[in-house]
Structure 1
């Protein structure tokens, strides 16, 4: 079959094109639709990573079933170093916890490469909620069990899991109102139809800054510089709630260790480039670049944690 050529920069002639543009392209499977934070991360990474690896990178969106379709596609790809995929807390934390059957094994089918970025979470409430701090909010919930409602993008989503984790660690009860996506959930929260939402910082930040929502806690190691008045969950001794979301990179199981190492080192360099870091920061994403063995340990930890939450809340989707 004739090899296709992918040119990243226009050139006056084929001789003027970058040498790496002639190499076999690398496919980067994104298990969610275009436009979301996962897709934005992949596209921010594609050009600098391709440049460092000497391969053009083609972003391949394979969405469906909460990321399961894309992960199944990655799992069956040849382990030749020419296919990689974006993993998230959904694909390698929530899905293994809430689905009895998945079209992929979250650990056996993949070779961990690196955590690309972390994404802090935030607990936000409608201004009508009479709580100015996390301690006041917990006290309010304990005094009014079941009278406060929280929104989520749907059953078995990260927002649902974070809320149930909060309920378990604080021994409180809120009524769950699931929506079909983050957009409708946030819309009703802003309108005061529901009172609480567990979100990623990036999507709630404009509403926090405008005063339309009140932030009570963030899941991050320190207070965020653009929200210095908002404490971390850890400051309230809610250490289990202090883990942020993340996006990472996987290869099919059996990919050579040397290849994995080479890609990890390239990712770590790419995400530190000023233009890339700035673009990611605009989405509330913070560069990581962890080692493969550390990322593998993280995946196992996340799956175990989410399984404990699903057991507590009795969350199953099949």
Structure 2
């Protein structure tokens, strides 16, 4: 009996010592998994890869990207929300995770406001309207006229139903009373592959995924849904320059963790994400990818901002009939 009690005391003592030692060492003590809710090769994945490198350097532990595409960003977001809240899973996600339409929001198997702890806003990104070279349009206006003359003949790809590019496409469709057909994919990379092979006529793609194809002539860039031109494709005009007003639209990206994640981990991740945005090399990499670094919104303030933006996009989607 005494031996058993002694063994129990020893086990408890060792466990307590290990816990205290781990706490003393600080967070993190092993690699951090970062879920990106879109397929590899797409817009969000490009940002995720850069964030992982610089955040890993600041944390002193690798940040490992895990792509979980599908559902316009909701599949991976749900995976993050359902993950063990131990500080070793985070989400590099976008507004799509909140449900970009009223229907999408009702279908979510998680509550983004209750199941995810907001860490920090990182960047905004414009999309680029690209078309296959066989499409007889060199400007946005020519594309609109071509679509009017050929209703139902032009198909456009998106990373999924209810995704940012999907809503932008439907807004273009509604604004100019044109009939273009939406074709959803599991991520932007798959859609752009079909575009350059000629199976899809157009899409709204990120600068990082489209620039190389535009430069090589495999795709033609017609307009950027942002307020300024993108350095890597300087000859592609903004939508306003192309004659389309009030069309500065694009993804909003940030970081979250599962609710219940230790406060120490949230605080460290918040601090390092804000700090890496000030790193000159990181800023250059982000600009080169076509992103606009955001203001420093963190925690509850960031959460409120995303809820407000989700409401705005749902209203836009409803106006477009989604």
Query: TM-score category by the smaller chain?
Result: 0.7 to 0.9
Q: Given that residues 153 and 185 in structure 1 are in contact (C-alpha distance below 8 angstroms), is that contact kept between their aligned partners in structure 2?
A: yes
Name the CA shift for 1:180/1:262 in 2 (closer, same or farther; >3 Å).
closer
5+ long unaligned stretches in structure 1: 7-18
Q: Aligned residue for 2:64?
A: 59
Indicate the residue corresponding to 2:314 in structure 1.
Answer: 307
- Superposed, 1:1-318 pairs within 5 Å as 24-25=29-30, 27-32=32-37, 35-36=40-41, 38=44, 41-46=47-52, 48-49=54-55, 52=58, 56=61, 58-59=63-64, 61=66, 63=68, 65-66=70-71, 67-75=73-81, 84-94=90-100, 97-98=103-104, 100-179=106-185, 181-235=187-241, 236-239=243-246, 241-253=247-259, 263-281=269-287, 283-288=289-294, 290-292=296-298, 295-308=302-315, 310-311=317-318
What root-mean-square deviation, in Å, do the aligned CA atoms of Structure 1 and Structure 2 show?
A: 3.9
Deviations 1:147-169 (A, max 9, x none): 32323344444433321122123
Instruction: Give me the whole-angstrom Cα distance separating, in 1, the residues matched to 2:258 and 2:139.
Output: 45
What is the rounded CA distance, in whole Å, between the counterparts of 2:244 and 2:191 in structure 1? 28
Tell me how far apart the structure 1 counterparts of residues 283 and 57 of structure 2 sit (CA, whole Å).
16
Equivalent pair of 2:160/2:187 in contact (CA under 8 Å): yes
In structure 2, runs of 5+ residues without a counterpart are 1-14
> C-alpha deviations, 1:240-285, integer Å up to 9, x for none?
x312223201244477999756643431221332443444455444
- Please identify, of 223-232 and 280-289, the stretch whose mean Cα deviation from structure 2 is larger: 280-289
Deviation of 1:95 after TM superposition, in Å, equals: 7.7
Structure 2 contact 126–224 (Cα < 8 Å) conserved: yes
1:65-89 Cα distance to aligned partner (Å, 9 max, x none):
5344543354356778665322223
Residue deviations 1:145-197, cap 9 Å, x none?
32323233444444333211221233322123345554453233224333211
Q: Distance in 1 between the 2:245 and 2:33 partners?
A: 36
Q: What is the number of residues matched between the two proteins?
A: 300
Q: Provide the C-alpha distance between the structure 2 equivalents of 1:275 and 1:21, rounded to a whole number of angstroms.
A: 27
Contact 1:217 1:233 in 2 (8 A): yes
